[in-house]
Amino acid sequence: MSKYYVIAGEASGDLHAANLMRSMRQEAEVDFRFWGGDNMSEVAGTPVKHISELAFMGFIEVVANLRTILGNIKFCKEDILKYKPDALILVDYPGFNLRIAKWAKSQGIKVIYYISPQVWAWKQKRVHTIKEVVDKMLVILPFEKDFYQKFGMEVTFVGHPLIDAIDQFKGRTEKVNLYSKHGLDDRPVIALLPGSRKQEIKTKLPIMLKSLEGLEKYQFVVAGAPAMDRSFYDQFMKMNENVRIIHGETYDLLSIATAALVTSGTATLETALFRVPEVVCYKGSTISYLIAKQLVKIDFISLVNLILNREAVKELIQQDCNSKNISIELKKILPDGEKHKKQMSDYDELITLLGDGGASQKAAKEILSFT
């Protein structure tokens, strides 16, 4: 039986790694030891480390938790040596995973990377490290193949696993009726996705809520982060009596939404794949933003625009992310708005570019044939 050590450090990585692991088990008899979350646990039992212990984001938070991070790296190396895997499968999470990859290569362990670090956005020098320490790279964004080829590295495009995850959701036999379950009325829903971390929610949710004044013919629903206690959101609910909060049912919410205000990240792509018109809202700490601005090499922050290589969805960043601008842009993408049809057309093109699904199965077959 082949043995694989899998490392995912964030929620999206946990979802995609779980689907990959499930697909690998459908193809062959394999054993896993892993770092991940609840989705991976459903496939392969208890993780060595749970993602709740691993997700440190932003320059300041990483520095503050450096001792913990270094301790995790040391422990991970020791655990891999004890397990003696046939290959190491790394899923995104580059700050941690590239350090492990470099060490694993020196130990003669095969290194497979599924879901490329966003080296095309910043730290492009990391490509040289990846070329040296990664034996096989499986990418999920169409432009990544051309990007790596510029550095003389061949990678395999397998398609985006979100397509499969959303198809699985839509194919469920039991449907959830959010209207009856959460006491929503019959007005159209505008979804608010302010992020999953306390600081970004504190920064963006009040601005989002203020932008909704004058839209009483809609009802507003906040997608509460699964790991965030419901009571945390109480301080914001007072700002607008026309707001509800729903935890852990983001896909159900997107499936009924007329439009959405979305923080940058994977959520921008998920919203597009549900064909929900969106405005992207990003506002971070001034220090982190100024540092990132010096380092980032891309024209857009949302995956939708990066894949299409143009501004298909409006991005309101830092000072531009204010209630007045959000309100103006939101009205443009509502069903009677001037940009609604164009955004729907752009979504059609986006879905075509991402491929026809089956990313997890394709990745599984690539890994099994490689090892």
- Average pLDDT across the chain, whole number: 90
Q: Is the pLDDT of residue 252 over 60?
A: yes
Beta bridge partners of 257: 189
- In this structure, are residues 196 and 228 in contact, taking their beta carbons and an 8 Å threshold? yes
The pLDDT tens digits for 181-237 are 999 999 999 999 998 878 889 999 999 999 999 999 999 999 998 767 888 898 888
Which amino acid would we find at residue 83? Answer: Y
Give the neighbor-by-neighbor strand order of the sheet with 219-224: 243-247, 219-224, 189-193, 257-263, 278-282, 314-317
What does the pLDDT read at residue 289?
59
- Name all domains of the chain by residue range, CATH numbers in brackets: 2-160+356-370 (3.40.50.2000), 178-353 (3.40.50.2000)
The whole-angstrom separation of Cα 361 and Cα 291 is 38
Distances (CA, A) of 233 to 192, 229, 236, 296: 13, 8, 6, 32
pLDDT at 290 over 80: no
* Parallel, antiparallel or unpaired: strands 219-224 and 189-193: parallel
Structure confidence at residue 217 (pLDDT): 94
What pLDDT is recorded for position 236?
Answer: 87
Indicate the pLDDT class of residue 330, thresholds 50, 70 and 90: very high
pLDDT of residue 10: 86
pLDDT > 90: percent of the chain:
70
Question: pLDDT digit string (tens) for 129-165?
Answer: 999 999 999 999 999 999 999 999 999 999 999 998 8
Q: What is the pLDDT of residues 36-63, one digit of tens each?
A: 999 999 999 999 999 877 665 555 555 6
Burial class of residue 152 in the structure, from the number of CB atoms within 10 Å of its CB (0-12 exposed, 13-18 middle, 19+ buried):
exposed
Confidence at residue 206, expressed as pLDDT on a 0 to 100 scale? 94
pLDDT of residue 293: 61
Q: In Å, what is the CA distance from 211 to each residue of 68, 164, 192, 208, 331?
A: 39, 33, 11, 5, 10
Please give the structure tokens belonging to residue 365: 């077959």
**Residues forming beta bridges with residue 322, ordered by sequence position:** none
